[in-house]
Amino acid sequence: MARSQSSDASRYRRIMLKLSGEALMGDANYGIEPATIQAVAAEIEQVHALGLEIALVIGGGNIYRGVRAATEGVERATGDYMGMLATVINALAMQNALEKNGVQTRVMSALEIREIAEPYIRRRAMRHLEKGRIVIFAAGTGNPYFSTDTAAALRAAEIGAEVILKATRVDGVYDSDPKINADAVRFDTLSYSDFIAKELKVMDATAVTLCMENALPIKVFNLLVSGNIRRVACGEEVGTLIH
């Protein structure tokens, strides 16, 4: 059965939520911290309960960091495929956490792994969303040399998402690294061209260019603040808007 329209409390109808893999580590050096992923899944379920259609892309940095030493000397393309497999691990972990909260999900992979994920087919993904299932896109674009940011931008454009919510460990986009520079200035809003010209590092420039070409706004915010996913989905002034 198709879901009803999103509630008046929410600003968007269909969103792409981009999570960094590092955000799932909690206080660990790598891997997935169970309490962290359960907390994130609970927040996503609350937003889903508003009636929004939610697609997810999760990076693989938390898994890939643990095997980085093993990739030294590995050619770039092979290393990128290893990173894609790391995103599949995160997608399955998030699927498990969401379904524990009673939310139906589908993992769709750009690499064919039929035993654990559906192959990515655009129309099928959109139909899952229309039926109220959260769709988790895994394995990036399926091609080396492209980041998971770019995968999120590509999938968001394909499925007609209205916004990309880029959840990170900082509260927006700064003119320099706030962890290094105490005087770093946070932007409330940025144009796509300014973001690219300033060579800011919060999001891949290829992804931002793709969003610019498709008039797809990006909201960068801090995932670690409880309730922020709902606040951003409801249009509150949180983080930095790139548009």
- Write out the chain's pLDDT in tens, 243 residues: 344 444 455 688 999 999 988 888 888 878 899 999 999 999 999 999 999 999 999 999 888 765 555 557 788 888 889 999 999 999 999 999 999 999 999 999 999 999 999 999 999 999 999 999 999 999 999 999 999 999 999 999 999 999 999 998 888 999 888 888 888 899 999 999 999 999 988 899 999 999 999 999 999 999 989 999 999 999 898 999 999
Answer yes or no: are the C-beta atoms of 21 and 59 closer than 8 Å: yes
Answer yes or no: are the C-beta atoms of 136 and 106 closer than 8 Å: yes
Query: Can you point out the beta strands (E) in 52-190?
Result: 53-58, 105-109, 118-119, 134-138, 163-168, 173-174, 186-187, 189-190
Three-class SS state of 179: coil
| Superfamily the domain 14-242 falls into | Acetylglutamate kinase-like (3.40.1160.10)
Reported residue count of the chain is 243
Round to whole Å and give the CA distance between 176 and 187. Answer: 11
Q: What are the residues facing 241 on neighbouring strands?
A: 189, 219
Q: Which of 17, 134, 26, 150 is nearest to 83 (CA)?
A: 150
**Apex CA 174: angle with CA 171 and CA 179, to 5°?**
75
